[in-house]
């Protein structure tokens, strides 16, 4: 059985989280557990970055350095921007 503990927050924060939990059909404890599970630690983020860089190097067949990857274009941000632009254009045509 999991051991429980107490977290001190303002009443305003507690009331807000309790409302969010009710709207999602869960307890406040379940909501806090879910929120905690969704937040990666710095170590987990570093592990994900290292794994992603390894895959990029394997797939690209190159020897990109960490510095080159850090200074390269943010490809994912560019993809999101292009997708958003296409969605806006579709919405404008439909209107």
> Global pTM?
0.54
Of all residues in the chain, the percent with pLDDT exceeding 90 is 44
From CA 29, how far away is CA 2, in angstroms rounded? 12
Residues in the chain: 95
Within 8 A by CB and 6+ apart from 79, the residues are none
Q: Tell which residue, 39, 45, 72, 79, has the closest CA to residue 56.
A: 72
Report residue 83's pLDDT band, with 50, 70 and 90 as the boundaries.
confident
Q: What is the pLDDT of residues 41-81, one digit of tens each?
A: 999 999 998 898 888 788 877 777 788 777 777 766 776 78
Within 8 A by CB and 6+ apart from 2, the residues are none
Contact status, residue 56 vs residue 66, Cβ threshold 8 Å: no
């Amino acid at each position: 059985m999991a051991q429980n503990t107490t977290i001190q927050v303002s009443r305003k924060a507690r009331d807000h989280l309790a409302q969010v939990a009710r709207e999602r059909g869960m307890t406040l404890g379940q909501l806090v557990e879910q929120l905690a599970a969704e937040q990666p630690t710095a170590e987990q983020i570093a592990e994900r970055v290292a794994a992603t860089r390894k895959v990029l190097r394997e797939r690209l067949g190159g020897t990109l350095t960490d510095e080159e990857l850090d200074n390269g274009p943010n490809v994912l941000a560019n993809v999101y921007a292009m997708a958003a632009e296409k969605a806006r254009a579709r919405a404008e045509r439909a209107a």
